């Protein structure tokens, strides 16, 4: 009995081992079949089963199956699962170093930049100078900096358009920014079968519209043959919005599938039956992700056809009247050994695309490309954080001329599914705000300000009823502004607009001097009981020199006045000497003596109050004359205020013809 029991136990153990081994091999065969058809979601599921049923001591097999599982996860964007599988492949000494490189790539896609940098370094020790690893290492180092120092883009997830499934590739309908189209696998798609590639239903194109109040409504699928039981999406429009191009990937259970581009014409509010675009005779390559240039002459697209620089490149083909002309690759620096995808345009001609071949933050990063006519090449730049993330970021669309709109990203989704986000780059606006008013008076709504810039700007700016104006200007440019109004002297201001990376408003004042009323020279001071000017007077007098230089045909009288204290004869002599002191200062400043007439009035012309000053004082009214008799009727404190107002230096315009007839 004991022998029989032992024999039974051995048979059970052998049977279990056989079943375990057979289960692993069966799962492996299913995985390989699915992978051959490009059904990576299905393949990953079976590789995972084969891996789990492989004995720990069979290290070579576990390493190989972990690697194949990781490759499938990588292809369907399950970055976290792919990273875990690559770690197992490396742990079990998978012989190909590519596992280490892809592990670093997936770590970068999950935001583990330090871990990624470490593994890129290890890979480079075995493969010095490898371009992909070098780019990855630099990208990891850059990403740490970009994440800590985000740029001015504002990015927000747009809950109204997102579902529990995937949404991607938003696109405005040409110039119509009241309609937004995007691709989604949400409920409502025509296809019911789950894709072996993604594990989701086949996507369709959805549309969302604004109501009469400008509020977005709920998304709904396009009621058209554009949507099918196949994968439809990543659409683009001609500038007039009348033709839609989109990607379709038809399914076949026995053969690999290749993406194709179709187009549909709009008739009223509906879209016509789609027609396949015969872009190339190559039937073994995919063409996808269409984009139409702002002039409507070129169709840009993504393809893995021969002649490219990497996995998928961006190509273009001219749109002819009867079809398409020859295709051309955009070449470097846009295309790289990696994948360039999802081209799109801003109306100003800037090309945007996504790439995992250029240094980036992980997955697909968004890039901007600008064509340089002189050098006949493209310049590209990474949009950095927060536009880019460790995940995939792609598929931008712009709201007309503004640097805002929508894009898609898989950030923050553990399944690697994409969702829609808004973006906006707050515009840097430099402005000049000015006020034109009468010196000692109120605003001058009849004034005109002349604006001249070294960049060729030459404008006449009318002011508002409050005497103000606001004008947008360019950073780093020198401007001259001349405030003018009939009956007043011109007033000039000079300004250099700063180049700071922020919006600024330069505020300028234009106090115009009357040609019909005496104009007070503020802050003119003399030594006590003398005609000697103090240092505090220089700023005001220097401003007067500038004013006279800006109005070279003006002849003025410089009038000095005293209060009623002291004898009339004494005050006249003192005020005359003071007026002459001012004239002498102006002459030393370069003003011709013939343009200046000094006049000492003593106390003979007390100040006549104008409305603004009377309002400010409060205890007097417009038209009051600050004579000795009037002042003595006031309280002592108010008397001193009025005496100070009488002790003044003014100028008034005598003629406007100096030098005109020489």
Predicted pLDDT of residue 662:
66
Residues 6+ apart with CB under 8 A from 633: none
What is the tens place of the pLDDT at every residue in 473-513? 999 999 999 999 999 999 999 999 998 888 899 999 999 99
User: Residue 252 — very low, low, confident or very high, per pLDDT cuts 50/70/90?
Assistant: low
Across 262-275, average pLDDT: 90
How many CB atoms lie under 10 A from the CB of residue 310? 16
With contact defined as beta carbons under 8 Å apart, do 27 and 52 qualify?
no
- Whether 414 has a pLDDT exceeding 90, the answer reads no
Q: Please count the other Cβ atoms lying within 10 Å of the Cβ belonging to residue 462.
A: 10
In this structure, what token pair is assigned to residue 68?
A: 């194949």
What DSSP letter does each residue of 547-594 carry, written as one string? Answer: HHHHSTT-EEEEEEE--SSS-HHHHHHHHHHHHHHHHHHHHHTT--GG
263 phi and psi angles, rounded to 5 deg: -135, 155
Pairing mode of beta strands 468-473, 393-398: unpaired
Q: What's the confidence (pLDDT) of residue 493?
A: 96
pLDDT band per the 50, 70, 90 thresholds, residue 382: very high
- Please tell me the total number of residues recorded for the chain in this structure: 662
Averaged pLDDT of the chain = 91
Decide if 453 contacts 474 (C-beta within 8 A): yes
Reduced to 3 states (helix: H, G, I; strand: E, B; else coil), residue 389 is coil
Residue with the larger pLDDT of the pair 251 and 581 = 581
| Alpha carbons 336 and 329: distance in angstroms, whole number | 11
Each residue of 467-479: pLDDT tens digit?
999 999 999 999 9
pTM for the model stands at 0.70
pLDDT in tens, 111-150: 999 999 999 999 999 999 998 899 899 999 999 999 999 9
Phi, psi of 455 (to 5 degrees): -90, 10
HEC per residue, 629-642 = HHHCCCCHHHHHHH
CB atoms within 10 A of CB 409: 25
Structural domains of the chain sorted by starting position, each given as residue range(s) with its CATH number in brackets: 22-148 (1.25.40.10), 154-424 (2.120.10.30), 430-512 (2.60.40.1120), 519-655 (3.30.1330.60)
């Amino acid at each position: 009995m004991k022998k029989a029991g032992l024999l039974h136990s051995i048979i059970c153990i052998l049977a279990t081992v056989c079943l375990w081994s057979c289960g692993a091999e069966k799962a492996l065969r299913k995985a390989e079949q699915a992978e051959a058809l490009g059904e990576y979601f299905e393949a990953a599921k079976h590789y995972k089963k084969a891996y789990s049923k492989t004995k720990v001591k069979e290290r070579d097999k576990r390493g190989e199956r972990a690697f194949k599982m990781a490759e499938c996860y990588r292809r369907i964007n399950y970055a976290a699962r792919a990273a875990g599988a690559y770690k197992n492949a490396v742990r079990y000494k998978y012989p190909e170093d590519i596992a280490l490189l892809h592990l670093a790539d997936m770590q970068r896609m999950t935001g583990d930049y330090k871990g990624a940098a470490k593994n890129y370094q290890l890979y480079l020790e075995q493969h010095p100078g490898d371009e992909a690893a070098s780019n990855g290492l630099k990208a990891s180092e850059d990403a740490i900096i970009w994440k800590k120092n985000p740029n001015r883009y504002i990015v927000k997830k747009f809950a109204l358009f997102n579902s529990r499934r995937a949404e991607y590739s938003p696109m405005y309908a040409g110039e119509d920014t009241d309609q937004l189209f995007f691709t989604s696998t949400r409920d409502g798609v025509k296809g019911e079968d789950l894709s072996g590639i993604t594990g989701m239903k086949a996507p369709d194109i959805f549309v969302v519209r604004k109501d009469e109040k400008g509020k977005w409504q709920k998304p709904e699928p396009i009621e058209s043959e554009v949507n099918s039981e196949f994968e439809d999406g990543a659409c683009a429009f001609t500038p007039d919005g009348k033709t839609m191009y989109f990607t379709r990937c038809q399914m076949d259970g026995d053969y690999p599938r290749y993406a194709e581009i179709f187009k549909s014409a709009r008739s009223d509010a509906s879209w016509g039956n789609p027609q396949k675009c015969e872009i190339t005779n190559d039937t073994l390559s995919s063409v996808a992700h269409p984009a139409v240039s702002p002039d409507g002459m070129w169709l840009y697209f993504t393809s893995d056809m021969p002649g490219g620089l990497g996995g998928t490149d961006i190509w273009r083909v001219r749109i002819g009247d009867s079809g398409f002309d020859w295709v051309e690759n955009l070449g470097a620096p846009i295309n790289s050994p990696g994948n360039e995808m999802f081209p799109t345009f801003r109306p100003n001609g800037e090309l945007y695309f996504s790439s995992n071949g250029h240094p980036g933050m992980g997955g697909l990063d968004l890039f901007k490309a600008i064509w340089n006519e002189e050098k006949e090449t493209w310049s590209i730049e990474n949009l950095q954080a927060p536009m880019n993330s460790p995940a995939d970021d792609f598929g931008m669309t712009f709201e007309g001329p503004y640097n805002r709109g929508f894009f898609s990203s898989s950030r923050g989704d553990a399944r690697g599914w994409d969702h829609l986000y808004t973006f906006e780059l707050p515009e840097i606006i430099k402005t000049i705000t000015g006020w034109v008013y009468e010196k000692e008076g109120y605003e001058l709504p009849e004034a005109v300000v002349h604006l001249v810039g070294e960049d060729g700007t030459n404008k006449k700016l009318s002011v508002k009823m409050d005497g103000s104006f606001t004008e947008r200007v360019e950073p780093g440019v020198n401007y001259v502004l001349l405030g003018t109004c009939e009956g007043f002297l011109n007033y000039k201001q000079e300004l250099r607009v700063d180049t700071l990376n922020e919006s600024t408003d330069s505020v300028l004042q234009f106090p115009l001097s009357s040609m019909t009323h005496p104009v007070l020279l503020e802050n003119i001071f003399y030594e006590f009981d003398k005609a000697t000017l103090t240092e505090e007077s220089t700023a005001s007098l220097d401003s007067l020199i500038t004013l006279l230089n800006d109005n070279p045909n003006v002849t003025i009288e410089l009038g000095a006045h005293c209060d009623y204290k002291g004898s009339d004869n004494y005050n006249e002599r003192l005020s005359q000497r003071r007026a002459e002191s001012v004239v002498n200062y102006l002459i030393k400043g370069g003003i011709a003596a013939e343009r200046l007439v000094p006049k000492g009035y003593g106390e003979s012309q007390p100040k006549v109050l104008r409305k603004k000053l009377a309002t400010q004082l409060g205890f007097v009214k417009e038209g009051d004359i600050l004579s000795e008799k009037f002042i003595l009727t006031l309280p002592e404190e108010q008397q001193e205020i009025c005496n100070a107002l009488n002790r003044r230096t003014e100028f008034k315009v005598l003629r406007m013809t100096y030098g005109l007839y020489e």
